Amino acid sequence: MPGVPHEMKGMMTDTVIPALHQHFKFPFISHRTLLTAGIGESFLADYIRTFEEAPPPSIKLAYLPNYGMVRLRLTIHGDDAPQLESLIQQQFDTLKGLVAEWMVTDEDISIQEAIGRLLKARGKTLGTAESCTGGHIAHLITTIPGSSEYFNGSVVSYANSVKENVLGVSPDTLAANGAVSEPAVEEMVKGAIRLLDVDYAIATSGIMGPGGGSPEKPVGTVWIAVGNRQGVLTQKFNFRFDRGRNIELAATNAMNLLRKFILSND
């Protein structure tokens, strides 16, 4: 097969897979996938250890970790499709109950798509005010087709002057607390809601590294705020990886914090 991805995928879809179906009989295969956030893979494995040891031999559980998230996928295969579908659904319902505290969605979709569905279902809009994430959250949200229905835009307020002059963050706030602080991201959220005319906003400010840290605010320190016109929720994170991974983790945790905020306001 060629190494160029789109060429390989085209040949697999149009030629190789149809040829395999002509020459071989394949068993029935079914998957169920859910997405968790806010708990690491090892802690999750410990929490559901009893479940993992109990499912029927025909069902396999896979852990698929990513930045700040873990997908859990159940797979079953055999010949009796109706019986297998019923069995895997029973096991999936049990698994969902066990991880309900951390479950983002019980479908095989991204967290940004899950956020989009929440906003669309409620007829609400979103904007972002990003410093340390540099627009990455906006990028992830706009990878979803149809995101223009609920995403208005973003202010990448990397410099303090943009935080002040565009978002309306008080110079006194920055002077007293610094840009990487709870008061700063609270004001960034309020400014984004006003400026972008949205129902919800996300704000991030942090130190991604490798330099720029201090004993009080080491590399990986990130303040995240989410909110609407009625209130703001903030959380401080301390990541410990390289710049790229810290940005990914900040974006994931920001979207998950927004998800929880939206649900709590229901």
pLDDT grade for 59, boundaries at 50, 70 and 90: very high
Distance of CA 211 to the CA centre of its chain: 26
Rounded to an integer, what distance in angstroms lies between the CA atom of residue 101 and that of residue 256?
12
What mean pLDDT is predicted for residues 210-234? Answer: 97
Identify the structural domains of the chain with CATH numbers, from first to last.
5-105 (3.30.70.2860), 111-265 (3.90.950.20)
pLDDT grade for 153, boundaries at 50, 70 and 90: very high
Quote the Cα angle for 259-261-265, to 5°: 120
What pLDDT is recorded for position 54?
85
What mean pLDDT is predicted for residues 51-75? Answer: 93
Task: Answer whether residue 266 shows pLDDT above 90.
Answer: no
What mean pLDDT is predicted for residues 48-67? Answer: 92
Written as one string, the DSSP assignment of 101-133 is TTEEESSS--HHHHHHHHHHHHT--EEEEESTT
Q: Give the chain's mean pLDDT.
A: 96
pLDDT digits (tens, 9 = 90+) for 93-107: 999 999 999 999 999
Task: Answer whether residue 55 shows pLDDT above 90.
Answer: no
What pLDDT is recorded for position 197?
98
Query: Taking Cα atoms as reference points, which of 166, 170, 117, 175 lies closest to residue 146?
Result: 117
Query: Judging by DSSP bridges, how do beta strands 200-206 and 221-228 pair with one another?
Result: antiparallel
- Sole residue written with tokens 């704000």: 203
pLDDT digits (tens, 9 = 90+) for 158-198: 999 999 999 999 999 999 999 999 999 999 999 999 999 99
Rounded to an integer, what distance in angstroms lies between the CA atom of residue 11 and that of residue 8?
5
User: 236 or 68: whose pLDDT is higher?
Assistant: 236
